[in-house]
Amino acid sequence: MRGSVDGNDATRPTGGSMAGNIADFLGNHLTRPDRVLYRHFVADAWRDVTAGELAVAVSRWQAAFRREGLASGDRIALCVRNGVDWVAIDLAALGLQLVVVPLFVDDTVGSVAWCVADADVRLLVVDSARLAAGLARPDAGVALPPVVVMRGDGGANAGAGAGVTPADRFLPGSGGDVEIRPCAAGTLATICYTSGTAGRPKGVMLSHGNVIANVTACRETGMARSDDVFLSMLPLSHMFERTGGYYLPLALGARVVFVRGIAHVAADLATQAPTVVFAVPRILERLKAGIDKSLSASTAKRMLFRACVERGWRVANGRASLADRALHPALQALVARPIHARLGGRLRLAVVGGAPLDPLLARIFIGLGLTVLQGYGMTEASPVVSVNVEGDNDPESVGPPLPGVEVRLGTAGELLVRGGNVMQGYWRNPEATRDAIDGEGWLRTGDLAEIRDGRIYIRGRVKDILVLSNGEKLSPHDIELAILRDPVFEQVMLIGEGRPFLVLLAVSREADEQALVRRANEQLKIHPRWIRVRRVVVSKEPWSVESGLATPTLKLKRPRVVEFFKDRIDAIYDAAS
């Protein structure tokens, strides 16, 4: 049964109802210890990891946690790169009813330190001695709990220091059986800090019941199967990857391959031949850029590519003519098959979320024979709210709500969500919790939406509406997405609140402002004539985590970007006044 698009009879799970423990996803496989669950690259070779081997690692971490005196409800922070270690630590903690606080390895030291302090963490596991040393600096501003370092950064004493223990010394030689304690639905499982685009991050409290409800609903869509091979490339500290790329395949018994790193994604796709990936739009954009580069020297190739995509799209949507059906197999063999080979040859499904996906980009890959399903969610919803499904896929939408999830429109068209996946609230922040969830359990998403034929269409952010000084209003979301269709633009952001015209902030290798203005407006022809960019402030340096202009999930910290370019923005508007 699909989720409801309206209604008032659903209730959130009560704290007393039994939901099981997230670690049961592993426990269910322990009767088949030889089942391969993971594959990772260690000691210069790919290696499979079975359920039994994972259970040994989990039991060792649990023995160490007990020795340290950690009790149910204590928080442990996990700032480690994706891999089997991340999974083992997470499952070990959850099995003992500890609360996992996942942190981004690539985040700033200051942000990591703030979250550790805010969550009152009892134990911190970090990826490297270098990160531990950065957190220990006086200017980090936090009194660290005991720290475990997964790997040294060179030297015999790497990772040594007051309160810092290398993992190989922290873990006992054996741990016994895996312990999985039964949980009520409301038992706190994790505190996930939001990306903090406009201020300090907030700690989203998700229970075992929240996460299990979301995984169960995702399974009911049929998007993934037990014989699938997932390629894990997004950080597990992000709930999109944690639920979709970790808990879901573990619940199914599907295999997960961890990429060696972002620089190796293309190679690992080709050699590991996954069937499913959970991705952000940027990954598809990079794949498309690679395709464009390979076609750039040949007009004939570009024409064939365009014909393959257009006919393939019509075939996929049941709108094919006789000519489409006749030519489609040959075009797929000539054009699409080599592209699929670069993706491993077996990739059947890409589930895309985390940011808006350009529908034109989705249509290109669908036309090439790859099913691209756009979904929608937020950390506060564990995180998936809706997703398209195979056979009923509209790339313009983010799909229908998951089974058991209710959605409706609130004031001014804001999307509201209710269900067992909705968070308990924000950690030690009752005021923010009251602002986010009303008395009937409806979560305010902050996104403007339209609901049509059971599908959700995101139309922008409630607080992101730009109002020009002439009274014209626009959502920058759609305009920025349109401009990014031109590959000359790497990152963009519109400015114009209370101003007489629009200015575009952009990261681009193209330095000619007039050329950038022209190319930006070329993408805006379908929009009203007054929606045009007058000037461009261009930067060649990306807006990154390191510069403080982006979050670890690559969301722009818009107020900081504006502040960074304030002098140049003011100069443009002052000159026009």
DSSP codes, 505-558: EEE-S---HHHHHHHHHHTTTTS-TT--EEEEEEESS---TTTTSB-TT--B-H
Residue 416 has pLDDT above 80, yes or no: yes
* Section 242-265 average pLDDT: 96
Q: What pLDDT is stored for residue 9 in this prediction? A: 31
Q: Can you tell me the distance from the alpha carbon of 577 to that of 574, in angstroms, rounded to the nearest whole number?
A: 5
Structural domain includes residue 510? yes
Angle at 414 between CA 474 and CA 425, to 5 degrees: 130
* Section 118-125 average pLDDT: 97
Provide the β-strand partners of residue 493: 505
Q: Can you tell me the distance from the alpha carbon of 318 to that of 130, in angstroms, rounded to the nearest whole number?
A: 55
**Higher pLDDT, residue 318 or 218:** 218
Q: What pLDDT is stored for residue 186 in this prediction? A: 96
Q: How confident is the model at residue 463 (pLDDT cuts 50, 70, 90)?
A: confident
* Section 352-366 average pLDDT: 91
State the DSSP string of 4-57.
BSS-S---PPPTTSB---TTHHHHTTTTSTT-EEEEEEETTEEEEEEHHHHHHH
Q: What pLDDT is stored for residue 161 in this prediction? A: 60
Structural domain includes residue 304? no
Q: How confident is the model at residue 225 (pLDDT cuts 50, 70, 90)?
A: very high
Residue 472 has pLDDT above 80, yes or no: no
Provide the β-strand partners of residue 574: none
Q: Can you tell me the distance from the alpha carbon of 166 to that of 10, in angstroms, rounded to the nearest whole number?
A: 48
* 3-state SS, residue 491: strand
Q: What pLDDT is stored for residue 530 in this prediction? A: 80
Q: What pLDDT is stored for residue 121 in this prediction? A: 98
Residue 12 has pLDDT above 50, yes or no: no
Whether residue 427 contacts residue 191, with contact meaning beta carbons closer than 8 Å, is answered with yes
The total of structural domains in the chain comes to 1
Phi, psi of 134 (to 5 degrees): -65, -40
* Section 251-258 average pLDDT: 98
Structural domain includes residue 416? no
Q: Can you tell me the distance from the alpha carbon of 565 to that of 410, in angstroms, rounded to the nearest whole number?
A: 35
Residue 440 has pLDDT above 50, yes or no: yes
**In CATH, what number is assigned to the domain containing residue 551?**
3.30.300.30
Structural domain includes residue 190? no
Q: Which domain holds residue 535?
A: 466-576
Nearest Cα to Cα of residue 224 among 345, 87, 90, 371: 371
Q: What pLDDT is stored for residue 198 in this prediction? A: 55
Residue 1 has pLDDT above 60, yes or no: no
Q: What pLDDT is stored for residue 155 in this prediction? A: 45
The burial class, CB within 10 Å (0-12 / 13-18 / 19+), for 43 is exposed
* Section 108-128 average pLDDT: 93
Q: Can you tell me the distance from the alpha carbon of 204 to that of 210, in angstroms, rounded to the nearest whole number?
A: 12
Q: What pLDDT is stored for residue 464 in this prediction? A: 76
| Secondary-structure percent of the chain, ordered helix, strand, coil, rounded to 5 | 35, 25, 40
Residue 437 has pLDDT above 80, yes or no: yes
Q: H helices within 265-298, ranges in order?
A: 265-272, 281-295
Q: Work out the mean pLDDT of the chain and round it to a whole number.
A: 91
Residue 344 has pLDDT above 60, yes or no: yes
Q: What pLDDT is stored for residue 514 in this prediction? A: 94
Q: What pLDDT is stored for residue 17 in this prediction? A: 61
Q: Looking at this protein, which amino acid is placed at residue 352?
A: V
Q: Can you tell me the distance from the alpha carbon of 255 to that of 249, in angstroms, rounded to the nearest whole number?
A: 7
Task: Find the range with the poorest average confidence among 54-58, 328-332, 458-462.
Answer: 458-462
Q: What pLDDT is stored for residue 136 in this prediction? A: 87
Q: What pLDDT is stored for residue 196 in this prediction? A: 61
Tokens of 377: 């969610």
* Section 423-436 average pLDDT: 96
* Section 85-99 average pLDDT: 98
pTM exceeds 0.75 for this model = yes
Angle at 489 between CA 483 and CA 492, to 5 degrees: 65
Q: Which residues contact 86 (CB under 8 A, 6 or more apart)?
A: 78, 80, 236
Q: Residue 427 gets which letter from DSSP?
A: T
Structural domain includes residue 372? no
Structural domain includes residue 422? no
Task: Find the range with the poorest average confidence among 176-180, 228-232, 288-292, 422-426.
Answer: 288-292
pLDDT digits (tens, 9 = 90+) for 259-300: 999 889 999 999 999 999 999 888 898 899 889 999 988 999
Q: How confident is the model at residue 461 (pLDDT cuts 50, 70, 90)?
A: confident
Kind and range of the H or E run holding 3:
none
* Section 375-397 average pLDDT: 95
Q: What pLDDT is stored for residue 5 in this prediction? A: 56
Structural domain includes residue 216? no
Residue 490 has pLDDT above 60, yes or no: yes
Q: How confident is the model at residue 412 (pLDDT cuts 50, 70, 90)?
A: confident
Share of the chain above pLDDT 70, in %: 94
Structural domain includes residue 566? yes
> Which of 217-231, 463-477, 563-577 ranks highest by mean pLDDT?
217-231
Q: What pLDDT is stored for residue 4 in this prediction? A: 58
Whether residue 229 contacts residue 276, with contact meaning beta carbons closer than 8 Å, is answered with yes
Nearest Cα to Cα of residue 421 among 462, 469, 386, 464: 386
Q: Can you tell me the distance from the alpha carbon of 287 to that of 233, in angstroms, rounded to the nearest whole number?
A: 14
Provide the β-strand partners of residue 497: none
Q: How confident is the model at residue 2 (pLDDT cuts 50, 70, 90)?
A: very low
**Higher pLDDT, residue 159 or 404:** 404
